[in-house]
Amino acid sequence: MASIAIVVAIYNGEATLDQCLASIETQSIPPSQLIVMDGGSKDGTVEILSRRSGMFSYWESRPDGGIYDAWNKALSHLTADWVWFIGCDDCLADAEVLSRMAALLDKTEAAVGLVYGKVAMVARSGRVSDVIGRPWADVRRRMQYSMVIPHTGLLARRALFERVGEFDAQYRIAGDYDWFMRAAAESGVRFTDDLLVNAGDEGLSGASETQVRTVREFGLICERQGRRRSLGWRWLLLKCQVKARLRAPLGAGGQGLVVDLFRSLTLRRPRGAGR
């Protein structure tokens, strides 16, 4: 059966780390490897890692250059067939996720090196505010200018890193998008209609502070990979700029109501519906 390594990158993740690790520990089959890269946390993260150290194939706690640098450092410790990068505020959706994915990957043709599923965004209330992840045929065009595949629900063949290289750590936000597009040019992509992860949803206020910078980084990556900044990218940037500007006069709550109204008018589920 296909072997799966899980990589968790952390910095000051004390509040959510135990829950994340518990969701891995309770899987009906364990991951082949569990690698944890902590960026030198100053809270209680290291104490949690020390207490749970028996779970890990490898872990370290030292300063790094950000999440993509941490992921790159983890690559040298990988031996499994597939690798899955998740965050410390993410939890595997149920106890059979690894079992189902191992069986699916075992049957996946060699030409496919990227497999992803659905991710539920879970609000602080514990309710699901959104579910992201759609079939590759539906999102392939949008991927030309933005990351619409949930990276925390993506598994990649380890061999792909040998072919396309590691993550580009110069990017602060969209390095996963840069790597995915390089990898997708060399590999087939497969979608599974399976909920894989419950991810922490920081909400609209947190997202609005970084969305504009994220989209600008998408544009930079497009240009460096030989694609123009399309009309789709410009429309996405405009929407993010409007949301960011709404937050100042309306506050996070008012901003959320406007965004939810827009989503309803465009026949999409309001993000705030699960809060």
Which pLDDT tens digits describe the chain residue by residue (275 residues)?
Answer: 899 999 999 999 999 999 999 999 999 999 999 999 999 999 999 999 999 999 999 999 999 999 999 999 999 999 999 999 999 999 999 999 999 999 999 999 999 999 999 999 998 778 898 999 999 999 999 999 999 999 999 999 999 999 999 999 999 999 999 999 999 999 999 999 999 999 987 644 346 668 899 999 999 999 999 999 999 999 999 999 988 888 655 445 544 554 454 444 444 455 544 32
Q: Looking at residue 126, which CATH number applies to its domain?
A: 3.90.550.10
Burial of 136 per CB tally in 10 Å (0-12, 13-18, 19+): middle
pLDDT for the residue numbered 265: 44
Amino acid type, 124: R
CA distances from 40 to 55, 64, 69, 106, 241 (A): 19, 8, 13, 36, 33
- 182/55 same-domain check: yes
Domain edge (last residue) among 163, 184, 201: 201
Burial of 263 per CB tally in 10 Å (0-12, 13-18, 19+): middle
Pick from 206, 221, 90: nearest CA to 229: 221
- 196/87 same-domain check: yes
Q: Are 188 and 198 in contact (CB under 8 A)?
A: no
The per-residue pLDDT for range 210-258, each reduced to its tens digit, is 889 999 999 999 999 999 999 999 999 999 998 888 865 544 554 455 4
pLDDT for the residue numbered 253: 52
pLDDT for the residue numbered 148: 95
- 86/179 same-domain check: yes
pLDDT for the residue numbered 264: 45
Whole-angstrom distance, CA of residue 229 vs CA of residue 266 = 24
Lookup: tokens for 3: 């072997």
The predicted model scores a pTM of 0.88
Which letter does DSSP use for residue 54 in this model?
A: G
pLDDT for the residue numbered 262: 45
Amino acid type, 205: S
3-state SS class at 128: strand
- 111/236 same-domain check: no
- 102/130 same-domain check: yes
- 173/228 same-domain check: no
* Helix intervals (H) in 34-157: 45-51, 67-75, 97-106, 136-139
- 214/170 same-domain check: no
Task: Provide the domain count of the chain.
Answer: 2
Residue span of the structural domain in which 250 resides: 204-269
Whole-angstrom distance, CA of residue 175 vs CA of residue 166 = 10
Lookup: tokens for 229: 């900044």
- 97/131 same-domain check: yes
Residue 119: inside a domain, yes or no? yes
Whole-angstrom distance, CA of residue 170 vs CA of residue 187 = 24
Whole-angstrom distance, CA of residue 106 vs CA of residue 100 = 10
Whole-angstrom distance, CA of residue 71 vs CA of residue 58 = 13
Residue 274: inside a domain, yes or no? no
Whole-angstrom distance, CA of residue 238 vs CA of residue 146 = 13
Residue 275: inside a domain, yes or no? no
Which string of DSSP letters, residue by residue, matches 156-190?
A: EEHHHHHHH-S--TT-SS-HHHHHHHHHHTTSEEE
- The structure tokens 């599923």 sit at 117
Q: How many CB atoms lie within 10 A of CB 138?
A: 10
Residues across the chain: 275
Pick from 222, 206, 132, 205: nearest CA to 171: 222
pLDDT for the residue numbered 39: 97
Q: Are 70 and 166 in contact (CB under 8 A)?
A: no
